Structure 1
Amino acid sequence: MRVTEPGYVPPSEDYWMALMNQGEFAAFPAPEAEPEEIWEGLGMGRGHPIPMPGLWDLEGGEPDWRRARALLESGQPLTVTVVGYNRGGLIVQAERLPRGFIPASHLLQFPNALNGPSRKSALARYVGQTLQVRVIEVDEVGGRFVLSERLAHQDEARIEALLAELRPGEVRRGTVTKVAAFGAFVDLGGFEGLLHISEMSWGRVTDPGAIVQVGQELEVLVLDVLPEERRVQLSLKRLKPDPWETVAQRYQVGQVVEGVVTTVTHFGAFVRLEEGVEGLLHVSEFGDAGGDHPRESVREGQCLRVRIVSIDPAARRIGLSRRGLH
């Protein structure tokens, strides 16, 4: 699974292939290049295969991709050692992490206008140095671990002031900078907080992009502030009342209602009665419409008439039935 830093747009596969052959600003298709030109500083002479980005990994052990993803989500900086370079940027390594890549455009003080021997010489001077970086892309399938020195050196005074100012329970206005599979990042004025997928809506969310979009301005509730870990947790759903707190006022046992099927499983189907409130239509309650598998009777997105057979607000459960309904 590929996840990225807010505001960072991952390049295409064609870009990566060209990058390894020409450099960060390559045109396509990329010409072939000598290993010495591409992997200078990695100790790979003539006759050795050119490692593609998908083959970067640790020597003597598997890289810790889980830690790599955690660093991306937390935004915490880390220290890496430059072990080589190509015309697109630097090859770096940190203990227990995948071998990483810093694009030249993400170096703090690098004149991107350089080309040819001057560019090669400027990049070569980094070999052996240690750099403070932030993770901007993790792609375990593609074997890519992309980092940024520039983002690790944001205005620290401004960030510290904001973290000291933020308080759990207050409402802040921010801008969505990135949408990922696990949620979205929201810029609160120089620092991004995490709006986790579980805090986007009282209802079931499978696609964060269906709830928020990059560039969208919105109000969020500050759930937690962890200055030492440089983490801010946000919520969107808690700006609205929890629908389960008043569910008994709107629904009663025996009531026939309409809902939309959200998920079909081997034991039945979940039916959304309203945003944030779903009931379970157990396979035993399908009635005459039942088959060998619930999917033979219902499908996701289908509108159904169901009868409420049980309500348990504390457990956030509603039991449904189709028996006797047509």
Structure 2
Amino acid sequence: MEDYLNQEEVSSKRLAHGDIIDGVVVRVDPDEVLVDVGSKSEGVISSRELGTREAGTPDLQSGDRIKVFVLQPENEDGNVVLSLRRARAESVWIKAQEKQVTGDLMEAEVREQNKGGLIVNVLGLRGFLPTSQVSRSYSANLQELVGQRIGVKILEVNRKRNRLIVSQKAAYDEDRARQRSELFERLKVGDEVRGKVSGLTSYGAFVNLGAADGLIHISELSWDRVANVGDVLQVGQEVGVKVIKLDPDMSRISLSLRQLGQDPWDHIEKRFPPGAVIEGEVTKTKKYGAFLQIGDGIEGLLHISELSWDHVERTEDVVQVGQRLRVKVLLADRPRRRISLSLKQVDEPGFRPPVDDAEAHDYPGEIERQPEHEPVLAEVSAAPPEG
């Protein structure tokens, strides 16, 4: 009884062009398909309205439940003219609208290039991918994408104008963000990973780790002093690096190249014990002294007060960059990573007479005193005769 009432309700409803309704296949003929749509007469689907070029003609059987599109509520024979092809196309447009709302990633096949971008096939619909929405990796050469399947997000759906706009960039950025999140969950400080150098700057090198780029600061390139990043790495070079810091909130990964090797400051006190005389090359000069490279990744400070026994006004008056010197190790401090050197103590100072007179301390420049003598007394016995 309930089914009869439902059927009466459908029968009483006036059909209109554009309606999408449910139906049941009654008979399949070579040139048409009869469908029961609950109206007074059966609906008819002509052969040309069965399928699409992309999807082909469906294999229908009596009793199949299908959705159909009303082309004409009633023709001259009193039948409802229906289209399975249009119903399926409309269903795809509805699905496209749903995907736009949910923001789901979709797969698209790139069909061709035009002056504004790329023509794509999404869900069987013809869509447009503007050049501005192409991923940065391909924006310079769109032709490379023709024939490929790519991930996109639907930006706009306009059924009346048959307009479907998609974005590869939005899909790429979202997928990149997901992969980046997974990368930060997987990485740990101390991990050794491999990547490709993606860029060089004055302060370091960026290394692509797949889902994100990490930075090797110039100070982490080598234990030796590095003046130019390009002297150590080149763009496109495959490198092994060590993770030394992770900041998921800022999406930053700090890497090190030098820490893959042994720290040259290990056992520094044994390598450079106090009193040892060694050779080094002046790498830079400052107001307060000069730095010498005395080993791989090891620099020591030659303070201006240790340049000479004499007063030194300017460091450059005694040493120059590139000059090799013999110096004495005064102190090797591993925790502070400092080595103190002396040039003047390599050779003992010249003889300097001791000054015991307390008065001499008031005049540091006066270090020699004339000896004092006892007075000589003489007795005068007679005056010389006057001429």
Structure 1's 310 and 170: CA in aligned 2 closer, same or farther, altered over 3 A?
A: same
- 1:241 maps to what in 2? 262
Which letter maps to 1:176? V
Deviation at 1:163, TM superposition (A): 2.6
From 169, 179, 185, give the equivalent of 1:158: 179
Please state if 1:301 is matched with 2:322: yes
The equivalent of 1:171 in structure 2 is 192
SS of aligned partner of 2:327: strand
- 1:213 maps to amino acid: Q
> Deviation per CA, 1:54-104, whole angstroms, max 9, x where unpaired?
xxxxxxxxxxxxxxxxxxxxxxxxxxxxxxxxxxxxxxxxxxxxxxxxxxx
1:256 to 273, 277, 280: 277
Residue 300 of structure 2, aligned match among 275, 279, 301: 279
Residue type of the alignment partner of 1:224: K
Change (3 A) 1:171 1:289: farther
Report if the CA contact (8 A) 2:277-2:346 is conserved: no
Q: 2:262 aligns to what SS in structure 1?
A: coil
Larger radius of gyration: 2
Query: Is the 1:289–1:297 Cα contact (8 Å) retained in structure 2?
Result: no
Choose the corresponding residue for 1:107, options 132, 139, 142. 132
* Aligned partners of 1:257 and 1:306 also within 8 Å: yes
Provide the secondary structure at the position in 2 that maps to 1:319.
strand
8 Å Cα contact 1:106-1:149 kept in structure 2: no
Matches of 2:263 and 2:218 in 1, distance apart? 16
Are the aligned partners of 1:267 and 1:283 in contact in 2 as well (CA < 8 Å)? Answer: yes
2:221 is the counterpart of 1:184? no
Q: Following the alignment from structure 2 to structure 1, what is the Cα–Cα distance between the partners of residues 326 and 264? A: 21
In the alignment of these two chains, the number of paired residues is 189
Contact 1:185 1:193 in 2 (8 A): yes
1:323 to 344, 349, 374: 344
Aligned to 1:266: 287
Q: Out of 234, 246, 253, which is 1:225 matched to?
A: 246
State the AA in 2 paired with 1:229. M
Task: Report the Cα distance in structure 1 between the residues aligned to 2:199 and 2:140, rounded to whole angstroms.
Answer: 26
Summarize the alignment of residues 83-162 of structure 1 with structure 2, pairs less than 5 Å apart: 107-109=132-134, 152=173, 155-162=176-183
1 CA distance for matches of 2:285 and 2:291? 7
- Cα distance 1:149–1:277, how it changes in 2: closer, same or farther (>3 A)? farther
Q: Residue deviations 1:92-147, cap 9 Å, x none?
A: xxxxxxxxxxxxx993249889xxxxxxxxxxxxxxxxxxxxxxxxxxxxxxxxxx
Q: Does 1:312 align with 2:337?
A: no
| Structure 1 residues not aligned, in runs of 5+ | 1-104, 114-147
Check the 8 A contact 1:107/1:149 in 2, yes or no: no
Distance (whole Å) between structure 2 residues aligned to residue 149 and residue 108 of structure 1: 7
**Matched residue, 1:207:** 228
Q: TM-score, normalised by structure 1?
A: 0.51
Q: Which residue of 2 aligns with 1:193?
A: 214
Displacement of 1:241 in angstroms is 2.3
Q: CA deviation at 1:153?
A: 5.8
1:282 Cα deviation after fit: 1.0
Does structure 2 conserve the Cα–Cα contact (< 8 Å) formed by 1:106 and 1:150? Answer: no
Rounded Cα–Cα distance in structure 2 between residues aligned with 1:291 and 1:150: 66
Once structures 1 and 2 are overlaid, which stretch shifts more, 277-286 or 235-244?
A: 235-244
The 1:216–1:271 alpha-carbon spacing in structure 2 relative to 1, beyond 3 Å, is: same
Taking a change above 3 Å as real, the CA distance of residues 304 and 161 of structure 1, as seen in their structure-2 partners, is same
Counting aligned pairs with the same residue, the percent is: 37
Farther-moved stretch of structure 1 (314-323 vs 196-205): 196-205
Structure 2 counterpart of 1:205, which letter? Answer: V
Report Cα offsets for 1:205-243 as digits up to 9, x if no partner. Answer: 333222222222111111223333222111112212222
CA RMSD between the two structures: 3.1
Could you say if the C-alpha distance between residues 260 and 154 of structure 1 is closer, same or farther in structure 2, counting changes exceeding 3 Å?
farther
Compared CA separation, residues 311 and 228, structure 1 to 2 (3 A): closer
CA offset digits 1:236-273 (Å, max 9, x no partner)? 12212222221012111111111111110011101111
Q: Which range is displaced more, 246-255 or 157-166?
A: 157-166
Aligned equivalents of 2:213 and 2:256: distance in 1?
13
Question: Per the alignment, do residues 109 and 210 of structure 1 end up closer, same or farther by CA in structure 2, a change over 3 Å counting?
Answer: closer
Q: What is the CA distance between 1:149 and its match in structure 2? A: 8.4
SS in 2 for 1:156: helix
Q: 1:275 to 1:225 in 2, by over 3 A?
A: same
